[in-house]
Amino acid sequence: MAYAIEHDRMLIGGELVHASGGEFDLSINPATEEVIGRSPRSTAEDVERAFAAADAAWPAWAALTPSERGARMRAFGKALRARAEDFLRIEVADTGNTITPMRGDVGHAVDSLTYYAGLIHELKGETIPATAENLHLTLREPYGVVARIAPFNHPLMFAVARTAAMLAAGNAVIVKPPETSPLSALLLAEVAREALPAGVFNIVTGPGATVGNAIVRHPGIKRIAFIGSPQTGRAIQRSAAEVAVKHVTLELGGKNPLIAFPDTDPDIIAAAAVRGMNFSWQGQSCGSTSRLLLHEDIHDAVLERVVSAVAGLRLGDPFDPATDMGPVNSRIQHEKVLSFFETARHDGSRLMTGGRRPPGERFAKGFWVEPTVYADVKPGMRLWQEEVFGPILSVGRWKTVDEAVELANSTEYGLTGAVWTNDIRNALNVARRIRSGHVWINGCSNHFLGVPFGGMKNSGVGREEGIEEMISYTEAKTINIMLG
């Protein structure tokens, strides 16, 4: 059968291949529930082949000079950019994210390749003056084979931008794309095959519970970098520990606070609160500021504006540039968001807009939900504590700064946070007291290349997107040279 999206091979050892068992998973367009493509359902045998190819490839890759390796990475970026429109088309159909902001994903992926290609000379060791009779020095060596396991919200971007540092450090890579949106990775397989030496970049698709788990449990893959939910992150830590001593970093979820002080303009806060929710990809962003904490003096004015803006978001075809919000990614995700609507019916929160599947024939098929705002959300409620990873904004109120900080820190998460005020002392004091890995002052949502990103508490371990990420894919080797 022919599919709308025809790419259906993954990449192992420089070959475009199907899974060893010959099986496939079908990919569904979340806007229509139509089958649009298929991806190989890999087996543990495929993971073994990918490992063998990567293990054979990394020594030569690591032996390239920084300039040579950097040049290969930049060429890879150039090849990706040449197919940017094809990637965009696949990504919008397979994820449901809206087209205009998704145009940035390939660019961001290429910029990350360029950034890390330029940092390779910074893989420096040290000399340490420990004794006079020895020269003590350290070298940075790649792990060898490193795995990246990625979530569904920005599959292509994560597969490239979050493997660039691994490649820069001299590793060969195995990527495991998300099972609900794997199709862009299959075009990526074709581009990477042309641009990089065989075995340096491998892609194995399939379910997390089998393929992901086989990667995590592979004794030869010591370094695993994961982006996804806290539950899976902890399962990966457990599985990895059962097999070997491994270095696992985790970029997990968030229930991120945006604290607005009374000295701010309600129009500006309302716009920031809506922007911080990332409705363009249905709120499916780890960094979404999904808890809006308003000072009581501006609470009603901001809430009114937020509700009006969210109610006015245009739901529809993700390919239409005028669309503000598409469908959520999958049936599972859809059921999850609907379950939050159900819980909220009885929890005492106040539904301000949304809270249901949109009515009408147009939305009868597809994983649609309305963009939603609840007011009077409180710490005891599920909406306060659990990440929805969907288009639901919860609003709470505070009186004192101590209360605002306590509310901000009252979940198991600690990924991002935002503080809005014109008072520099309030801004910095509160930013320092928020237990989150990434805090915006008078901003939200943006990532900046080179600036570390990652979570405290149950939002993760490790930092990505800066030089620290590249160093984290190396191990230090100490050498002592006796001079006497």
Q: Annotated catalytic sites, by residue?
A: 251
Site string for ligand NAD, 458-477 (x = CB under 6 A): --x-----------------
Query: What is the footprint of ligand NAD within residues 424-453 (CB under 6 A)?
Result: none
471, 452 Cβ separation under 8 angstroms: no
Nearer to ligand NAD by Cβ, of 12 and 269: the residue is 12
Give φ, ψ of 135 to 5 degrees. -100, 125
Per rule CB under 6 A, is residue 232 in the interface with ligand NAD?
yes
Strand 223-227, strand 145-149: pairing: parallel
Query: Which residue in the set 212, 318, 371, 390 belongs to the binding site for ligand NAD (CB under 6 A)?
Result: 212
Nearer to ligand NAD by Cβ, of 181 and 421: the residue is 181
Per rule CB under 6 A, is residue 324 in the interface with ligand NAD?
no
| Rg value, the chain, Cα | 23
159, 188 Cβ separation under 8 angstroms: yes
Quote the least distance from Cβ 405 to ligand NAD, whole Å: 22
CA distance 343 to 81: 44
Expressed in angstroms, the distance from the first to the final Cα of the chain is 74
Per rule CB under 6 A, is residue 218 in the interface with ligand NAD?
no
Nearer to ligand NAD by Cβ, of 254 and 326: the residue is 254
CA distance 435 to 417: 9
CA distance 122 to 163: 17
- Provide DSSP, 308-374: HHHHTPPB--TTSTT-SB---SSHHHHHHHHHHHHHHTTSS-EEEE--SPPPSGGGSSSS----EEE
Give φ, ψ of 173 to 5 degrees. -120, 140
Query: What is the footprint of ligand NAD within residues 371-430 (CB under 6 A)?
Result: 387, 389, 415
Strand 372-375, strand 350-353: pairing: antiparallel
Query: Which residue in the set 146, 169, 252, 383 belongs to the binding site for ligand NAD (CB under 6 A)?
Result: 252
Per rule CB under 6 A, is residue 213 in the interface with ligand NAD?
yes
Quote the least distance from Cβ 61 to ligand NAD, whole Å: 24
Quote the least distance from Cβ 105 to ligand NAD, whole Å: 12
Query: What is the footprint of ligand NAD within residues 121-180 (CB under 6 A)?
Result: 149-153, 176, 178-179
Give φ, ψ of 403 to 5 degrees. -65, -40
Per rule CB under 6 A, is residue 185 in the interface with ligand NAD?
no
Per rule CB under 6 A, is residue 57 in the interface with ligand NAD?
no
Query: Which residue in the set 229, 308, 343, 410 belongs to the binding site for ligand NAD (CB under 6 A)?
Result: 229
Q: Judge residue 118's burial from the number of C-beta atoms within 10 Å of its C-beta, 0-12 exposed, 13-18 middle, 19 or more buried.
A: middle
Q: Which tokens belong to 319?
A: 């390919």
Residue whose pair of structure tokens reads 């475009």 in the numeric block: 16
Q: Which stretch binds ligand NAD (CB under 6 A): 126-134, 224-232, 266-274, 360-368?
A: 224-232
CA distance 116 to 111: 9
80, 110 Cβ separation under 8 angstroms: yes
Per rule CB under 6 A, is residue 10 in the interface with ligand NAD?
no
Nearer to ligand NAD by Cβ, of 134 and 229: the residue is 229
Phi-psi sector, 442: left (phi>0), alpha (psi -120 to 50), beta: left
Residue count, binding to ligand NAD (CB under 6 A): 29
Tell me the residue type at 254: G
Residue whose pair of structure tokens reads 């959520």 in the numeric block: 328
Per rule CB under 6 A, is residue 251 in the interface with ligand NAD?
yes
Nearer to ligand NAD by Cβ, of 229 and 308: the residue is 229
Nearer to ligand NAD by Cβ, of 426 and 472: the residue is 472
Nearer to ligand NAD by Cβ, of 70 and 228: the residue is 228
Binding site for ligand NAD (CB under 6 A): 149-153, 176, 178-179, 208-209, 212-213, 216, 227-229, 232, 235-236, 251-254, 286, 387, 389, 415, 455, 460
